[in-house]
Structure 1
C-alpha cells in the first residue's frame, strides 16, 4: 500500500539519493525559502516516516542530514524514480 504523499514530498523523495543536509536538498529542489521547505517538504516527509534524521537526538545540529527510510525507498521505487548510478 502506497501512502498518500503531497507533490512536494514526492519531489523531495525524487532528489534524495543519499544522506543530504537541508541546504543540499533545498538546492536540488531549487528552493530558497527555508520555512517553506521545512513546512511543506521536510516536516511532512519526517512525520510520515519517509525520511529520517541521521542525528535524531539533536534535530537542530549543524551536522544534521536526512536519508530515505526503508518505506521511503519502497515508495521511491513504486513511484518509478530511478536511483543515481542505475
Structure 2
C-alpha cells in the first residue's frame, strides 16, 4: 500500500502526539493560538490521511473529544 503524503504541518502535529490529546492540548503543545487555523491546517488533514483518529468518532463535536495516532500515523 502506498503511504499518503502529509504536509510538514501534519508531520509536526504527529511528532508531538504521545497518547490521547484534546484539540486544546495539541494547540498548546504546538504553541498555536488560532483554533480555526489549527483545525483546518493541522487536525483535519491529519484525520483525512488516516494518521490521526478521534476517540469519539460518533460525536465529533463532543467536549470530551480527543485525538490519537492510528497505525498509519
> TM-score range, shorter-chain basis?
over 0.9
Structure 2: unaligned runs, 5 residues or longer: none
Runs of 4+ deviating beyond 6 Å: none
Structure 1: unaligned runs, 5 residues or longer: 73-86
**Could you say which structure has the larger radius of gyration?**
1
Higher helix share: 1
> What is the TM-score when the length of structure 2 is the normalising length?
0.95
RMSD over equivalenced CA pairs, Å? 0.8
Q: Which residue of 2 aligns with 1:82?
A: none
Residue deviations 1:10-69, cap 9 Å, x none?
010011111000000000000000010000000000011100000000000000000000
Q: Which residue of 1 aligns with 2:48?
A: 47
Partner Cα distance (1:46, 1:30) in 2: 20
Q: How many residues align?
A: 72
